[in-house]
Chain A
Amino acid sequence: DAKTTQPTSMDCAEGRAANLPCNHSTISGNEYVYWYRQIHSQGPQYIIHGLKNNETNEMASLIITEDRKSSTLILPHATLRDTAVYYCIVRVAAGAGSYQLTFGKGTKLSVIP
């Protein structure tokens, strides 16, 4: 699976949008970008994933650059409960191949009142 690079930590004011970047310059054509988050002392929670088109769900939006070498997770209105470590993971297409996830160090997002 392609390696990802994320900032170690970020702060965001409550109510503002949180934009979390991720670089994955060695991503292959059949690899998806997945985002998970882990709130302290809990298991990781799936947020969103995409291949090349931008994606949106009830939790977040995922913006993938045209060359697919980087992406940004957007939490439109961050709340204190969004404080967590956010992991950007790139792996083979859903429905085929290995399903295991390789976690990097992620970005610790702190939402500030």
Chain B
Amino acid sequence: AQKVTQAQTEISVVEKEDVTLDCVYETRDTTYYLFWYKQPPSGELVFLIRRNSFDEQNEISGRYSWNFQKSTSSFNFTITASQVVDSAVYFCALKAAGNKLTFGGGTRVLVKP
């Protein structure tokens, strides 16, 4: 069985602060994929990134960066110099055997001006 844990339910920061969202996963499969999605108040889940289990390279995309560490089963997400538009719920998700997407509980990020 797969499991994704996002221990932080809500994070509040002031604009321009950095914020790191934690994601810890469990799976017995050696081949799996990890995803991050953003859900703004409008409701749509926006795909942000995909990482496969064989690629431990960290990735940076603009103000977003991701740190994948297989040794600790973690796939953390950092927003640098946060902006009000970053306010949303962020979900980490895992896809392994069975092909179903297993979501974490989500972390609500509130960026105050």
Q: Do A and B bind each other?
A: no
* Chain B interface residues toward A at CB < 8 A: none
